[in-house]
């Protein structure tokens, strides 16, 4: 890292640590450590990952979802439904049979159920975009599950109902 920073004439005379302790850099500083200094450079920030470059080179759209937010990612809900089917299916010891079983479980999730997962994720995204918190979004999703998105006029209604509860 030091060599790259020196090549760019960014190396301070006092030197730099490789990274801040516990990866906890000071807020709004870009020159506290080598790691932060490099990651703030324009060519580093604009560089796509190898996976993203490969996917887009094949003509597909690459869309990364936040980690561990299954309500925002309907694919996680689909995998959960397929996993449930797999857990309740007959056990196998043969790898070929196991692979066939996994594919069968993936195919067994009805398209309508997958579409419902997608709609549910769209509703959660809509509520977060409109400024609701996690608890408010969950409540709104239970109340207005027949809509693809939560109408903006209902935001005040949601907040009022939760304040009374």
Q: What is the pLDDT of residue 159?
A: 73
Measured in whole angstroms, how far is the alpha carbon of residue 83 from the centre of its chain?
Answer: 20
What pLDDT shows up at residue 148?
61
Count CB neighbours of 65 within 10 A.
13
Q: Which residue has the tokens 């608890």?
A: 135
- Nearest Cα to 144, choosing from 80, 113, 132? 132
**Phi-psi bin for 75: left (phi > 0), alpha (psi -120 to 50), beta?**
alpha
CA neighbours closer than 13 Å in the CB half-sphere of residue 51: 3
For position 68, what pLDDT does the model report? 59
Q: Is the pTM of this model over 0.85?
A: no
Which residues of the chain, if any, have pLDDT below 70?
65-68, 145-150, 165
Question: What pLDDT, on the 0 to 100 scale, is given for residue 149?
Answer: 64
């Amino acid at each position: 890292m030091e060599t790259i920073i020196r090549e760019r004439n960014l190396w301070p005379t006092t030197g730099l640590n490789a990274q801040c302790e516990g990866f906890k850099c000071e807020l709004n500083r870009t020159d506290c450590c080598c790691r932060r200094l490099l990651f703030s450079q324009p060519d580093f920030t604009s560089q796509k990952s190898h996976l993203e470059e490969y996917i887009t080179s094949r003509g597909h759209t690459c869309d990364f979802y936040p980690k561990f937010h299954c309500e925002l990612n309907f694919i996680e809900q689909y995998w959960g439904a397929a996993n449930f089917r797999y857990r309740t299916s007959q056990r196998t010891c043969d790898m070929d049979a196991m692979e066939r079983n996994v594919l069968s479980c993936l195919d067994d999730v009805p398209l309508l159920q997958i579409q419902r997962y997608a709609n549910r994720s769209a509703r959660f995204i809509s509520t977060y975009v409109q400024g609701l918190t996690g608890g408010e979004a969950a409540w709104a999703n239970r109340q207005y599950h027949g809509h693809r998105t939560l109408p903006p006029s209902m935001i005040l209604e949601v907040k009022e109902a939760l304040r009374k509860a």
